[in-house]
């Protein structure tokens, strides 16, 4: 087989029987047109034909390489791997190999070699083509990309917030260390996970998807709940937006901020604000209670002195006690921190009660006037939240006028047949125009340091929104402010509970055990039960019941809080000896549907004869139905 070459080394006209994986024409075209350096090496590994580009990459002239061993252009450190690549080429016909090429001056560069075996017509090896390309710059770029990728990963892993990337199908392709720590899953568990993601609570998956809408996403923030691997849940704010990679593939990028601590801080500050409001009312409440205690104590003294008739004194005492009971119930309702269900209520009555509370706590130089006569003020709401709403608005108005005095005007009317409007106006210091848009934001306050948390008006706005209403404010500096609240009315009638209609018909006498560590409560309970025709047994020490026969007892009435124990604990201790109905006496406000296990009904203190009768009728009727 012969080989011809031109003197300039730029043309090549071989006589080939065959070249594995390449036709003569293909190799000739590649040889003539490729900018890649090309040479042909014979079966003994000697350069026979060398193109100019090939020789130039190695720092030689073409004729300097011809006749030289192919190994001359391979860096010594890469000779073994080059021989391995050569052997692979013999087996497969061709091989691509990255290697260090050695120049004439001894320097080296990163090269990519394509070795293609050539044979004669009998299939015997004649040599091989070596296609040479300098890939130093490409490797530098690749190394820079790898360094950038490593830097990017380290940068993302240093973030305090979580970071996720999803592909167009919603599969996770990237997460940072903060996110895996946040939810308790490893990167291996998350990468490749599709929608719904494992950290989405099952019952909220649809809401999460619907909440972000359909792609392409506009940058947006949304608060959602996520679930850790251990099942615990926590609130986060997710910022989601659409992007694309270098190839144009759609990506969805999200930053995830754990706001558990923030929400807990807000909750505690809101609680502090609520307690501060109650504390503000303490002066007025004390004033009211003292006013109520005066006729009670005075009438009792007059009875003892024989200076007043028992019937008249009893009427006075009962009226004062009833008002005191209402006052305490309202205070407990306001101070209660549980989530309460919405019920039918009168905004007009809620306003009247709130004004009664707050009047005594206003600065002495501030007066208060109420106007308006709404045709309807009935709405569906939580009375405690509505009263706190009114109390906050009136208290803020009073604070705005404490230095120079003034008047608070409250107006209640119906601007529309299905709405009720509450306006609270003052002629105090007013709010600056640049602050008016911020007054409902959390922690924003115009009061001096230590005199406000900045959560009062935020709570007002939340309460209004929760009741389906709107709130607005108009204000001028040095002239005052007007807060307007509009709430939707309801025309539904308040359903009367069966217990409230409990009959007063005579009931069979019951064996009733009453447990309370207060002798006065036991004394009046015994008298009232006897009056109702029952057979009461009063016990001041709960431990004594543990050793008594309870088989004949029809009803157990126990105080909630007693010295050293509780009524709930007592019921648990008596489980083996007593399985009848239990009525719990308590002076604490609570929701009817939150009764502890083993308790059938609640009797709120203070109670009247009718209250006691109704409570007994209710629990015994329920017990009879369950038998």
The domain containing residue 66 runs over which residues?
3-134
Q: What does pLDDT average to over the chain? A: 79
Asked if 463 and 508 sit in the same domain, the reply is no
Using one digit for the tens of pLDDT, what is the confidence trace for 540-557? 888 888 888 888 899 999
In a domain, 394, yes or no: yes
Give pLDDT tens digits for 206-215. 777 776 555 5
Give CB contacts under 8 A, 24+ apart, made by 537-546. 537/511, 537/512, 537/513, 538/513, 538/514, 539/513, 539/514, 539/515, 540/515, 540/516, 541/517, 542/515, 542/517, 542/570, 545/513, 545/515, 545/570, 545/574, 546/573, 546/574, 546/577
Strands of 489-554, DSSP E: 511-515, 535-539
Same domain, 212 and 185: yes
DSSP string, 158-184: T-SSEEEEEETTS-EEEE-HHHHHHHS
Q: Which of 102, 134, 166 is the last residue of a domain?
A: 134
| Residues 251 and 272 grouped into a single domain | no
Q: Give the domain-ending residue among 258, 280, 295.
A: 258
Q: Are residues 595 and 544 in the same domain?
A: yes
The reply to whether 355 and 386 lie within a common domain is yes
Q: What CATH code is carried by the domain that includes residue 219? A: 3.30.450.20
What are the phi and psi torsion angles at 195 (to 5°)? -80, 135
Q: How far is CA 250 from the centre of its chain?
A: 28
pTM given for the model:
0.42
* Residue where a domain terminates, one of 454, 488, 522: 488
pLDDT of residue 13: 41
Cα(157)–Cα(261) distance, integer angstroms? 21
Number of structural domains the chain divides into? 4
Residue 304, domain CATH:
3.30.565.10
307-355: per-residue pLDDT in tens?
777 887 788 788 778 777 766 765 665 555 555 567 888 898 888 877 8
pLDDT tens for each residue of 483-516:
999 999 886 543 333 333 334 344 578 999 999 9
Same domain, 586 and 529: yes
Task: Write the CB contacts of 279 (distance below 8 Å, at least 6 apart in sequence).
Answer: none
**How confident is residue 149, by pLDDT bands cut at 50, 70 and 90?**
low
- Please tell me whether residues 515 and 559 are part of one structural domain: yes
Most confident segment among 151-165, 330-344, 386-400:
386-400
Same-domain check for residues 303 and 449:
yes
| Residues 302, 443 within the same domain | yes
Query: Which range among 175-179, 279-283, 341-345 shows the weakest confidence by mean pLDDT?
Result: 279-283
169 in a domain, yes or no?
A: yes
Average pLDDT of the segment spanning 81-100: 93
Same domain assignment for residues 418 and 513: no
């Amino acid at each position: 087989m012969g080989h011809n070459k031109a003197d300039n080394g730029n043309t090549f006209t071989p006589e080939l029987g065959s070249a594995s994986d390449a036709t003569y024409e293909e190799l000739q075209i590649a040889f003539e047109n490729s900018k890649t350096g090309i040479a042909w090496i014979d079966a003994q590994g000697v350069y026979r034909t060398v193109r100019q580009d090939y020789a130039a990459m190695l720092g030689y002239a073409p004729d300097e390489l011809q006749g030289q061993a192919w190994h001359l252009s391979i860096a010594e450190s890469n000779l073994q791997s080059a021989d391995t690549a050569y052997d692979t080429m013999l087996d497969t016909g061709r091989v691509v190999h990255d290697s260090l090429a050695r120049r004439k001056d001894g320097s080296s560069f990163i090269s990519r070699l394509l070795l293609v075996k050539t044979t004669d017509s009998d299939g015997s090896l004649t040599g091989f083509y070596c296609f040479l390309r300098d890939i130093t710059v490409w490797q530098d770029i690749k190394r820079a990309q790898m360094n950038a990728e490593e830097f990017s990963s380290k940068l993302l892993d240093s973030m305090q917030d979580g970071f996720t990337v999803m592909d167009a199908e919603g599969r996770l392709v990237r997460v940072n260390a903060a996110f895996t720590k946040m939810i308790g899953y490893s990167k291996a568990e998350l990468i490749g996970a599709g929608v719904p993601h494992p950290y989405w609570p099952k019952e909220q998956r649809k809401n999460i998807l619907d909440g972000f809408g359909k792609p392409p996403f506009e940058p947006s923030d949304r608060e959602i709940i996520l679930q850790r691997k251990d099942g615990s849940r926590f609130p986060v704010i997710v910022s989601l937006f659409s992007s694309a990679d270098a190839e144009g593939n759609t990506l969805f990028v999200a930053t995830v901020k754990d706001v558990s601590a923030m929400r807990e801080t807000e909750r505690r500050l809101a609680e502090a604000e609520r307690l501060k409001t109650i504390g503000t009312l303490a002066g007025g409440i004390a004033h009211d209670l003292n006013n109520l205690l005066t006729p009670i104590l005075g009438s009792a003294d007059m009875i003892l002195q024989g200076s007043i008739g028992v019937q008249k004194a009893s009427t006075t005492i009962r009226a004062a006690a009833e008002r005191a009971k209402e006052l305490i119930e309202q205070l407990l309702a306001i101070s209660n921190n549980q989530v309460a269900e919405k019920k039918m209520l009168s905004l007009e009555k809620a306003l009247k009660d709130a004004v009664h509370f707050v009047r005594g706590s206003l600065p002495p130089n501030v007066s208060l006037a109420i106007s308006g006569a709404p045709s309807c003020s009935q709405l569906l709401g939580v009375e405690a939240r509505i009263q706190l709403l009114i109390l906050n608005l009136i208290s803020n108005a009073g604070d705005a006028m404490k230095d120079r005095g003034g008047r608070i005007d409250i107006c209640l009317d119906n601007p529309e047949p299905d709405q009720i409007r509450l306006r609270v106006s003052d002629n105090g210091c007013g709010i600056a125009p640049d602050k008016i848009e911020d007054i409902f934001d959390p922690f924003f306050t115009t009061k001096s340091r230590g005199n406000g948390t900045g959560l009062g008006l935020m709570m007002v706005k939340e309460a209004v929104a929760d009741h389906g209403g709107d709130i607005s404010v108009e204000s001028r500096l040095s002239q005052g402010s007007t807060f307007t609240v509009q709430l939707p009315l309801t025309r539904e009638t308040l359903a009367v509970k069966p217990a409230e209609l409990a009959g007063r018909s005579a009931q069979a006498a019951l064996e009733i055990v009453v447990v309370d560590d207060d002798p006065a409560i036991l004394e009046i309970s015994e008298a009232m039960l006897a009056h109702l025709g029952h057979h009461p047994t009063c016990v001041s020490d709960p431990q004594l019941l543990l050793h008594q026969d309870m088989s004949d007892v029809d009803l157990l009435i126990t105080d909630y809080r007693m010295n050293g124990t509780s009524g709930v604990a007592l019921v648990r201790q008596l489980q083996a000896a007593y399985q009848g109905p239990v009525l719990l006496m308590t002076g604490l406000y609570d929701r009817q549907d939150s009764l502890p296990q083993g308790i059938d009904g609640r009797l709120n203190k203070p109670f009247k004869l009718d209250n006691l009768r109704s409570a007994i009728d209710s629990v015994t009727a329920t017990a009879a139905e369950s038998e």
